[in-house]
Amino acid sequence: MAKIYYFAYGSNMLSERLQARCKSARAVSIGSVEGHSLAFSKKSRDGSGKATLAPSEEADSRVYGVLFELDAEELTDLDGFEGVGLGYERHNEFAVQTEGGIVTAAVYLGSDDHLDAAQRPYDWYHELVLAGAKQNQLPLDYVEKLSDVASSVDTKTKRNNAAAGVGAVEKGERSA
């Protein structure tokens, strides 16, 4: 079975979340992308902002994330979860820096026509991103920077409950 690399920088950094979507997903390394910043500017159908990588002119701009290996055939399933054609585009030849050197990985980026800098993530989505960053031990200063991102309270109980597994992950428990 062919394997591919996938670079997660948003809520899919949380292993349980990605493995619920792609059973074969296995975290292999922390990765980073220079010349970009993390933005929650991808307009979502739920009215919030989701994560994307934004090109940046800042000298020290870098986004950290998690490099996963997964079965290539699961990428089509992930396309559906990520909303390819509905606000995200998959890029298959994205350069990611790891301790072992540069790796080419698939990554999802917000489509230009679905970006709005005024967007904010919902609180539960922001918590999923933070939980994934902590779980994978991204650099502490980067995690602190993520913590400072402003979020909006999601008043829809059903969506909010969908993120209930975050607390269990932060306590070191496995979610179902």
Q: 6: annotated binding-site residue?
A: yes
Rounded alpha-carbon distances, angstroms, from residue 34 to 46, 108, 152: 30, 16, 28
Tokens of 23: 């059973």
Q: 8: annotated binding-site residue?
A: yes
Q: Is 150 helix (H, G, I), strand (E, B) or coil?
A: coil
Distance CA(134)–CA(129), nearest Å, equals 9
Q: 125: annotated binding-site residue?
A: yes
Q: 155: how many CB neighbours lie within 10 A of its CB?
A: 8
Q: 10: annotated binding-site residue?
A: yes
Q: Are 66 and 131 in contact (CB under 8 A)?
A: no
Q: Is 147 helix (H, G, I), strand (E, B) or coil?
A: helix
Q: Are 115 and 55 in contact (CB under 8 A)?
A: no
Among this protein's residues, is 127 annotated catalytic?
Answer: no
Q: Are 151 and 126 in contact (CB under 8 A)?
A: yes
Q: 81: annotated binding-site residue?
A: no
Spot the catalytic one: 16, 74, 82, 127. Answer: 82
Known catalytic residues?
82
Residue ranges for the known binding site for substrate are 6-11, 125
